[in-house]
């Protein structure tokens, strides 16, 4: 069995398509990672102590710890330990009367800043929402500048005030924790999100929960139950013992394009434009994320005094460029026109529930950071593999073992438009996937990733890759097969239309010519009528001209057909009609005529073939007959020479001899006649002098005529009769006629042999008186094996006249026999050459020399 | 004594030929196919070969081309194939004569005799320019003598003149008028018949079979010629 080529293995093709999709996905993600790395190349480096990347990882637990215990400790320093993070914190004062707790995590590069107000009951965590805690766990107010989750599209509600009613731990534990709406900013459709952490007093198990509350029809003053949350126990370590309800209120009335309005912000005298990705520092414009920008900002910050949070925001933004990872405050306009301070936090909730995944994030970020130099390289490698895979798919398309040419499988017969539609759909999907992966920090913040979304995203990318592979395969197979349009809706519709028009054309062309002509005349009448009505003489003129043209073309075609028909009539069967200018019924007629010609030709050829076979048969048979006949003739001859005294025997031998001779003659004639009738005799037409021919023949037969008691009378005209004939064949005709005369003419009569000119023809006639009465027509006499005497006892085969006629036919000579009583007449009509008579009895030297004319001339002179 | 090789696969024909030829006093050798004939030809001095064409093993045509490699003995094809093509093929291959079956024994004997005589005396070129020889016909203008295969032929004065004229221009065709003008030296008027009769008589004298002449041929409707290659 023949080994399959690589390109003919269908399994390999499927594998290649899958590989293509995988490589495509790989390229996609590598490309995105490369882009992220390019955009955020400062991001992982930090630069300012305050903006350590792991601000929230290393110092996170410190912040949480302080938040939880600040009132209790009222301390200037201490240590903390929670959730695998431990370190020290130190209190220092800042100019505006607030405090900063600098938290130093024991982890590498760990650390955070806790920014608090001067009051003991209100702390502000940097980069975090402001929540008021106290021992009684009463949530007092919500900061007006509360956060906005940028990519969730929520806007904080500035004036919302929510109070926890009966906010004691006991109340909470007993399930009576209630929330009272105290502010007026909560609009219909707003949501309140609050987190509750609880610890079981007995088991010390901690529960934590995020809840959303929809203030659907709530009014100020309503008291709403917060409910009891005792699920999700596995997050807190035993040293966390405080119930920490916190509340974030969002509103969803942010105008859709608010996101863009806020991209420009001014902090201090630094103007940051997120749209152009530039920062204007000290009158100079820098590209965000560049080293120069970082240095300029550094100088600026040394010179001015800015609130720490603004300082942090600036450093983060300027260093990171279009960074979604940094925290930044800025002012914007809400949908309802109010001034809003936005806070973008790409880290989202830093609630305890996500701390662990935040760790994972940090690790992932570190890994990505370490690998970022490789992403372009990886992209290159995957790109090359992808190209190789694509080349293989294109080459293998349409190949199949055992199939000649291009094989089109099932996927290649689906209308191509479906693939096109899929591709069109794939474009926005791909764009969405790109945006999702490029901007949603999938790679830097796994904690925010919703697994389901990510899977869908990956699936879309893979699907697009697969679609590309399939489209590439089927497109190249279709193009290779050169039947691209066959399996498209457009192609199918087009072929249907073509079929329809063909049908119409067929209907029209099957009409008889009369009807077609009538239709054409009607059409022209309509056009001319329209032209007359419209008063436009040009329409009429154009119609007349085109009609004349049509008639001309038709007539030309008709003439062509007539010529062809004439050719067929004249026996020229090998020609065909030139179909140019022939259309419609004329073309059909040409087909019919050719059919007639072909049929006739076939019949003629068949006839010729059978005649030739017959001749061959007769020749062979006669050859086989001649061999035994030779023996018979010879031995009869030998016997006749023996001295035989018996008279009877002698007589019998004589009979044998005569019959053997007759048989010999018969066989010869038989071969002759079959050759003559089947045309297998070569005819060499040469200029022949008819007068001379007759004289020569008469001379040959002079003695025999005399022996038969016949008196030949030869009459030839004075002028020369020259004709194109084969002298040898013509002699055989005359030979047969003369020998017939000898055999059948009445002894003692005269035989008239004459030649005369009659117009362009010469008439040669033989006339004699028959020995026996002839009750048979001349026509019959020329048939084979017919003789004047029905007894058939005379010598002769009865083939003589038949042979003569066939030989004459071969040379284009008319041969006819008539019988008038006992008068037998053989008449030959011969076409004379045009210059007959010009060849006078003049020249000698330019006599016709048959072969090597020059050589014997000298001998002749010498011997003369 | 001259030796004749008879080669024919038909035994009856061979024995008939033997009967005829024995009477003439020839030495006879018999073969029944081409290879036997070649064997005999290589071992015995043969003066004339009579050969059939269609024979088993080696046929006459191949035997002829083979024997022509070592001998120029006269070969007469004796065959039932009477097509012109066959004749031309045989003669072109180097056969000296071609006789179709059934043959006339008298003609056959005459031809054999003629060929043997020419074969034996071959090589003696005409002694003087007055002697013209074409094939077996020799004409000596000095003593106005004509011999065919060595035998003297008696001709009338005009017959001799005609023959001399045609022989000295062997191969060319002449119309009766031309012949008359050359031989009689007169303006020819209605001489066709006279010339034709003369030619016929000439033919009867020099040809073995006047109906199938080898030398003096009628070119029908054009004239007469003395064939150069006899």
Instruction: Check CB contact of B141 with chain A, cutoff 8 Å.
Output: yes
Instruction: Please state the separation of Cα A200 from the chain's center in Å.
Output: 72
On whether both B114 and B135 belong to a single domain, the answer is no
pLDDT reported for residue A410: 83
pLDDT digits (tens, 9 = 90+) for B2-18: 899 999 888 888 988 88
Would you call A634 and B176 a contact, using CB atoms and an 8 Å cutoff? no
Cβ-proximal residues to A421 (8 Å cutoff; 6+ apart), any chain: none
Instruction: Identify any residues that bridge with A103 across adjacent strands, giving them in sequence order.
Output: A89, A112
Residue B55 in tokens = 């024979």
Kindly report the nearest CA distance between residue A771 and chain B, in angstroms: 27
- CB pair distance less than 8 Å for B219 and A863: no
Contact assignment for B172 to A856 by CB distance below 8 Å: yes
Question: Does the pLDDT value for residue B131 go beyond 50?
Answer: yes
DSSP H stretches of helix in A157-212: 169-173
CA distance A725 to chain B (A): 9
* Domains observed in chain A: 6-37+372-491 (no CATH), 42-128+355-371 (no CATH), 258-349 (no CATH), 511-582 (no CATH), 600-680 (1.10.287), 682-831 (3.30.565.10)
Per-residue tokens: A683: 């005819």
CA distances from A324 to A33, A40, A150, A261 (A): 15, 10, 10, 16
Does residue B205 form part of some domain? yes
- Report the distance separating Cα A617 and Cα A131, nearest Å: 127
pLDDT at A166: 37
pLDDT averaged over chain B? Answer: 85
Residue B172 near chain A (CB below 8 Å): yes
Q: Which residue of B has its CA nearest to A702?
A: B197
SS3 label, residue A787: coil
Structure tokens, A824: 């037998």
- Chain A, nearest residue to B19 by Cα: A638
When CB atoms are compared, the residue of A631, A633, A847 closest to B178 is A847
Q: Which residues pair with B137 in a beta bridge?
A: B134, B148
The CA distance from A400 to A405, in Å, is 9
Which residues of chain B lie closer than 8 angstroms to A863, CB-CB?
A: 130, 132, 141, 164-165, 168
In A339-432, where do the E strands start and end? Answer: 339-345
Structural domain boundaries, residue B56:
3-121
**Statement to judge: residues B185 and B137 lie in one domain:** yes
- Which residue on chain A is closest to B81 by alpha carbon? A623
Same structural domain, B80 and B32: yes
Asked whether residue B114 falls in the same domain as residue B141, the answer is no
Residues A382/A31, Cβ–Cβ less than 8 Å: no
> Nearest by CB to B129, which of A623, A851, A862?
A862
CATH code of the domain covering residue B105: 3.40.50.2300
Residues B149 and B75 grouped into a single domain: no
Q: Which residues pair with A278 in a beta bridge?
A: A273, A287
Across the A:B interface, residue pairs with CB atoms under 8 Å apart total 154
Residue A126 vs residue B153, higher pLDDT: B153
CA distance A202 to A230: 13
- How far B148 CA sits from the closest chain A CA (Å)? 19
Residue of chain B minimizing CA distance to A861: B168
The CATH code of the domain that includes B214 is 1.10.10.10
Which of B103, B138, B221 is the mutation pick for testing A, counting most A CBs within 10 A?
A: B221
Please give the structure tokens belonging to residue A820: 């008038």
The DSSP symbol for A80 reads E
| Coil vs helix vs strand at A461 | helix
Contact A156, A146 (CB under 8 A): yes
Domain finish residue from B64, B95, B121: B121
Return the structure tokens found at B93: 């291959």
Judge if B201 and B178 occupy the same domain. yes
Taking the C-alpha atoms of residue B111 and residue B127, their distance in angstroms, rounded to an integer, is: 26
Whole-number Å distance between alpha carbons of A371 and A294: 24
In this structure, what is the dihedral angle of CA atoms A737, A742, A748, A753, given to the nearest 10 degrees? 20
Considering the domain boundaries, does residue B191 fall inside one?
Answer: yes
Core vs surface per residue A278-292: b (16+ CB within 10 A) or e: bbebeeeebebbbee
| Interface residue B185 vs chain A (CB under 8 A) | no
Distance CA B185, CA B76 (A): 41
Is this prediction's ipTM beyond 0.85?
Answer: no
Contact B176 A727 (CB under 8 A): no
Q: Is A104 left (phi over 0), alpha (psi -120 to 50) or beta?
A: beta
Nearest-5° Cα angle at A386, A380 to A389: 145
Coil, helix or strand for B97?
Answer: strand
Give the end of a domain, one of B53, B88, B121.
Answer: B121
Residues of B in contact with A850 (CB under 8 A): 171-173, 219, 225
| CB-based contact A629 B82, cutoff 8 Å | no
User: Cα Rg for chain B, rounded, in angstroms?
Assistant: 19
Q: Which residues 1-40 of chain B have a CB within 8 Å of chain A?
A: 10, 12-13, 16-17, 19-20
Q: For residue A710, which phi and psi values (nearest 5 degrees)?
A: -110, 150
- pLDDT means per 10 residues in chain A (864 residues)? 66 88 90 69 29 36 50 54 56 54 52 43 31 26 30 33 42 44 45 47 50 47 45 30 33 32 48 64 76 75 63 58 33 39 31 32 54 79 92 86 78 88 91 74 51 82 91 88 84 92 86 86 90 86 90 89 86 78 81 85 87 79 83 87 83 87 83 75 84 87 88 86 87 88 87 88 89 77 65 63 86 87 88 62 42 39 40
Residues B116 and B220 in one domain: no
**What is the value of pTM for the model shown?**
0.46
Asked if residues A179 and A226 have their Cβ atoms less than 8 Å apart, the reply is yes
CB contact under 8 A, A623 and B80: yes
Query: Tokens at residue A142, please?
Result: 């919500």
Residues 81-120 of B with CB under 8 A from A: 81-83, 100-103, 105
Q: Which of B121, B153, B175 is the last residue of a domain?
A: B121
Task: Tell whether B186 and B222 lie within a shared domain.
Answer: yes
**Degrees to nearest 5, angle at CA A212 with A211 and A216:** 145
Distance CA B206, CA A394 (A): 93
Q: Reduced to 3 states, what is the DSSP secondary structure of residue A87? A: strand
Residues B7 and B108 in one domain: yes
Residue of B17, B102, B217 to mutate, interface with A, max A Cβ within 10 Å: B102
Q: Could you tell me which residue, A792 or B46, shows the higher pLDDT?
A: B46
Same domain, B116 and B139: no
In a domain? residue B96: yes
Six-digit token string for A455: 């899977």
- Confirm whether B80 is domain-assigned: yes
**How far away is chain A from the Cα of B2, in angstroms, using its nearest Cα?**
23
In 3D space, the residue among A180, A217, A212 whose CA is nearest the CA of residue A193 turns out to be A212
Q: Are residues B29 and B65 in the same domain?
A: yes
The string of pLDDT tens digits covering residues B54-93 is 888 888 888 888 888 888 888 999 888 777 777 888 888 8
CB contact under 8 A, B222 and A857: no
DSSP per residue, A582-600: --HHHHHHHHHHHHHHHHH
Record the tokens describing residue B94, joined without a space.
């180097």
B196 and B89 part of one domain: no
Angle in degrees, CA A573, A576, A581, rounded to 5: 150
Q: Residue A207 contacts by C-beta under 8 Å, 6 or more apart in sequence?
A: A196, A197, A198, A199, A200, A229, A230, A231, A232, A233
Count of other CB atoms within 10 angstroms of residue A507: 9
**CA gap A383, A389 in Å, rounded:** 10
Residue B126 lies in a domain: no
Number of domains in chain B: 2
């Amino acid at each position: 069995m023949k080994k399959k080529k690589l390109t003919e293995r269908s399994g390999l093709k499927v594998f290649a398509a899958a590989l293509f999709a995988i490589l495509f996905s790989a390229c996609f993600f590598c490309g995105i990672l490369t882009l992220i790395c390019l955009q955020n190349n400062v991001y992982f480096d930090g630069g300012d102590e305050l903006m350590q990347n792991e601000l929230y990882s290393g110092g996170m637990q410190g912040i949480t710890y302080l938040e939880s215990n600040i009132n209790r400790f009222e301390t200037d320093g201490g240590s903390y330990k929670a959730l695998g993070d431990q370190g020290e914190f130190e209190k220092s004062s800042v100019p505006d009367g607030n405090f900063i707790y600098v938290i130093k995590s024991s982890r590498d590069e760990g650390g955070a800043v806790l920014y608090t107000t001067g009051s003991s009951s209100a702390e502000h965590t940097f980069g975090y929402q402001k929540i008021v805690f106290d021992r009684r766990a009463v949530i007092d107010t919500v900061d007006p500048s509360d956060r906005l989750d940028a990519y969730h599209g929520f806007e904080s509600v500035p004036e919302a005030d929510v109070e926890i009613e009966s906010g004691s731990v006991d109340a909470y534990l007993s399930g009576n924790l209630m929330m009272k709406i105290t502010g007026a900013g909560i609009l219909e459709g707003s949501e309140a999100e609050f987190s509750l952490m609880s610890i079981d007093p007995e088991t010390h198990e901690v529960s934590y929960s995020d809840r959303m509350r929809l203030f659907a029809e709530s009014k100020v003053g309503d008291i709403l139950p917060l409910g009891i949350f005792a699920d999700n126990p596995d997050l807190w370590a035993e040293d966390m013992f405080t119930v920490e309800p916190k509340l974030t209120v969002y509103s969803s009335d942010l105008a859709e394009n608010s996101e863009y309005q806020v991209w420009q912000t001014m902090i201090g005298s630094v103007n940051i434009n997120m749209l152009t990705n530039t920062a204007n520092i000290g009158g100079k414009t820098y590209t965000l994320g560049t080293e120069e920008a970082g240095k300029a900002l550094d100088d600026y910050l040394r010179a001015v005094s800015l609130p720490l949070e603004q300082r942090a925001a600036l450093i983060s933004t300027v260093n990171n460029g279009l960074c979604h990872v940094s925290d930044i405050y800025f002012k914007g306009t809400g949908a309802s026109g109010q001034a809003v301070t936005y806070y973008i936090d790409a880290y989202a909730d830093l609630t305890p529930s996500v701390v662990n995944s935040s760790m994972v994030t940090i690790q992932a970020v570190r890994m990505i950071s370490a690998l970022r130099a490789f992403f372009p390289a990886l992209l290159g490698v995957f790109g090359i593999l992808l190209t190789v895979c694509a080349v293989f798919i294109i080459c293998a398309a349409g190949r199949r073992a055992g199939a000649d040419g291009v094989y089109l499988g099932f996927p290649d017969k689906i209308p191509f438009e479906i693939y096109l539609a899929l591709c069109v759909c794939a474009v926005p999907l791909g764009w969405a996937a790109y945006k999702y992966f490029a901007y949603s920090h999938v790679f830097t913040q796994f904690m925010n990733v919703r697994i389901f979304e990510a899977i869908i995203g990956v699936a879309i990318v893979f699907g697009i890759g697969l679609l590309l592979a399939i489209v590439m395969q089927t497109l190249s197979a279709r193009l290779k097969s050169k039947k691209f349009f066959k399996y498209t809706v457009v192609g199918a519709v087009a072929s249907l239309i073509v079929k329809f028009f063909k049908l119409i054309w067929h209907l029209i062309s099957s009409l008889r010519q009369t009807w077609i002509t009538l239709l054409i005349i009607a059409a022209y009448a309509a056009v001319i009528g329209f032209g007359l009505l419209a008063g436009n003489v040009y329409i009429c003129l154009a119609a007349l001209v085109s009609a004349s043209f049509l008639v001309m073309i038709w007539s030309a075609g008709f003439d062509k057909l007539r010529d062809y028909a004439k050719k067929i009539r004249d026996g020229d069967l090998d020609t065909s009609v030139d179909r140019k200018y022939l259309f419609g019924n004329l073309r059909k007629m040409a087909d019919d005529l050719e059919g007639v010609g072909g049929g006739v030709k076939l019949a003629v050829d068949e006839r010729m073939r059978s005649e030739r076979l017959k001749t061959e048969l007769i020749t062979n048979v006669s050859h086989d007959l001649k061999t035994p006949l030779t023996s018979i003739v010879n031995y009869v001859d030998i016997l006749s020479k023996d001295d035989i005294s018996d008279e009877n025997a002698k007589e019998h031998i004589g009979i044998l001899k005569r019959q053997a001779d007759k048989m010999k003659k018969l066989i010869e004639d038989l071969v002759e006649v079959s050759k003559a009738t089947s045309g297998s005799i070569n005819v060499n037409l040469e200029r022949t002098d008819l007068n001379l021919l007759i004289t020569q023949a008469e001379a040959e037969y002079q003695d025999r005529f005399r022996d038969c008691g016949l008196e030949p009378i030869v009459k030839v005209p004075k002028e020369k009769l020259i004709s194109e004939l084969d002298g040898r064949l013509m002699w055989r005709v005359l030979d047969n006629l003369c020998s017939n005369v000898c055999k059948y003419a009445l002894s003692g009569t005269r035989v008239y042999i004459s030649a005369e000119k009659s117009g362009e023809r010469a008439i040669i006639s033989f006339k004699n008186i028959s020995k026996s009465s002839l009750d048979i027509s001349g026509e019959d006499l020329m048939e084979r094996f017919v003789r004047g005497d029905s007894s058939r006892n005379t010598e002769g085969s009865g083939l003589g006249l038949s042979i003569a006629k066939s030989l004459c036919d071969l040379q284009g000579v008319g041969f006819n026999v008539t019988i008038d009583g006992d008068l037998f007449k053989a008449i030959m009509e011969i076409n004379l050459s045009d210059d007959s008579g010009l060849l006078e009895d003049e020249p000698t030297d330019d006599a016709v020399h048959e072969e090597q004319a020059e050589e014997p001339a000298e001998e002749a002179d010498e011997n003369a | 004594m001259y030796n004749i090789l008879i080669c024919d696969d038909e035994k009856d024909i061979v024995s008939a030929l033997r009967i005829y030829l024995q009477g003439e006093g020839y030495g006879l050798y018999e073969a029944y196919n081409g290879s036997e004939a070649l064997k005999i030809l290589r071992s015995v001095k043969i003066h004339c070969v009579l050969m059939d064409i269609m024979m088993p093993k080696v046929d006459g045509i191949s035997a002829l081309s083979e024997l022509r490699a070592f001998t120029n003995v006269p070969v007469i094809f004796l065959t039932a194939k009477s097509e012109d093509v066959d004749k031309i093929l045989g003669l072109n291959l180097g056969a000296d004569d071609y006789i179709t079956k059934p043959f006339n024994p008298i003609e056959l004997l005459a031809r054999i005799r003629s060929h043997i005589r020419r074969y034996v005396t071959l090589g003696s070129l005409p002694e003087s320019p007055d002697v013209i020889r074409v094939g077996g016909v020799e004409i000596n203008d000095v003593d106005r003598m004509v011999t065919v295969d060595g035998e003297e032929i008696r001709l009338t004065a005009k017959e001799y003149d005609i023959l001399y004229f045609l022989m000295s221009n062997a191969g060319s065709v002449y119309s009766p008028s031309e012949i008359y003008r050359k031989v009689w030296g007169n303006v020819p008027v209605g001489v066709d018949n006279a010339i034709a009769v003369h030619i016929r008589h000439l033919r009867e004298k020099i040809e073995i079979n006047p109906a199938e002449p080898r030398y003096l041929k009628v070119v029908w409707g054009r004239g007469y010629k003395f064939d150069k290659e006899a």
